[in-house]
Amino acid sequence: MLRCWGCGVARTWGYTGLAAVAPVSWGTTYLVTTELLPTGVPLGAAVIRVLPAGVVLLLISRRGPVGVWWWRVAVLGVLNIGAFNALLFVAAYRLPGGVAATLGAVQPLLVVGLAFVLLGERVTRWRLGWGIAGVVGVGLIVLRGAISVDMVGIAAGLAGAGSMAAGVVLTKRWGRPEGVGPVAFTGWQLTAGGLLLAPVAFLVEGLPPAPDVAALAGYAWLAIVGTAIAYVLWFQGLGRLPVTAVSFLALLSPVVAAVLGWVVLGQTLTPLQCVGFALALLAIAAAQLSPATARSLVHQVRN
């Protein structure tokens, strides 16, 4: 019996680790956007990121939605993919990466509230408290010096967090059709989100400029690793793990963005930022546990 319990715990942490690949890869978006992609086309960048990845996954799975899943995929495609990626790029273009990342860090708190409304999950002080701690930790990491206030960028950052939170909770509520794997399910959403976003991007921005070698590399990274692979693992995790626990993994995105700024761009890390790192990572880890499990672990460590 103990062996089976241990296998279950290992399997849970395995799915958690795989799901964490998604926000880790999303944390590279700020660096890639500012250093490699052309400026002024956030919606076009979002389309180039998601639509080709969705088509490739559809070709791999060779399976499409049926019945009610046509409109459900359209809704999830907008919330999880189309609207979220568009708002993410708008925030990334208009705000310093630190401000955009901090706004995105409110997502776990929004998921806690929406999970209560749509899934009937009780709002616990444990996850609510760690959600607040996560926002504070991210703020300590990325907010430095004077803050540039761009109301459009701030609105986009908050709306993007809300869109993803709603999409995550609805994904958990509806699940996946029987017999449909995460590759097909991800392909549906990426394609739907990309197709709905493409005409909007064309009307607002026109055709994106011809990419140079650096932009091609940036788009390839975002489409293959940061979208196709990341979203398959993300939706697989959502199907296997508690939705509120998975949502806290999104805090890894700003943490990775800050680390890349330090390693790649030569930005310095202050002692206060190190405290923020520790707090954010502690919030992510603690949110994966129940209070009883956490107390048990603390008791074992003390003894």
Percent of the chain clearing pLDDT 90 (strictly above): 30
Question: pTM for this one?
Answer: 0.83
Residue bearing the bigger pLDDT, 150 or 250: 250
The model's pLDDT over 121-139, given as tens digits with 9 standing for 90+, comes to 777 787 778 788 877 877 7
Residue bearing the bigger pLDDT, 69 or 300: 69
The model's pLDDT over 155-189, given as tens digits with 9 standing for 90+, comes to 888 888 899 899 999 999 999 998 899 999 999 99
Q: pLDDT-based confidence at 142, cuts 50/70/90?
A: low
Q: Which of 36-40, 101-105, 222-226 has the highest mean pLDDT?
A: 222-226
Per-chain mean pLDDT for the chain:
82
**pLDDT of the residue at 251:** 82
The model's pLDDT over 39-68, given as tens digits with 9 standing for 90+, comes to 888 888 889 999 999 999 999 998 999 999
The model's pLDDT over 190-221, given as tens digits with 9 standing for 90+, comes to 999 999 899 989 998 888 888 899 999 999 99
For the chain, give the secondary structure using H, E and C: CHHHHHHHHHHHHHHHHHHHHHHHHHCCHHHHHHHCCCCCCHHHHHHHHHHHHHHHHHHHHCCCCCCCHHHHHHHHHHHHHHHHHHHHHHHHHHCCHHHHHHHHCCHHHHHHHHHHHHHCCCCCHHHHHHHHHHHHHHHHHHCCCCCCCCHHHHHHHHHHHHHHHHHHHHHHHHCCCCCCCHHHHHHHHHHHHHHHHHHHHHHHHCCCCCCCHHHHHHHHHHHHHHHHHHHHHHHHHHHHCCHHHHHHHHHHHHHHHHHHHHHCCCCCCCHHHHHHHHHHHHHHHHHCCCHHHHHHHHHHHHC
Q: pLDDT-based confidence at 281, cuts 50/70/90?
A: confident
Is pLDDT of 152 > 70?
yes
Query: What integer is the mean pLDDT of 246-259?
Result: 82
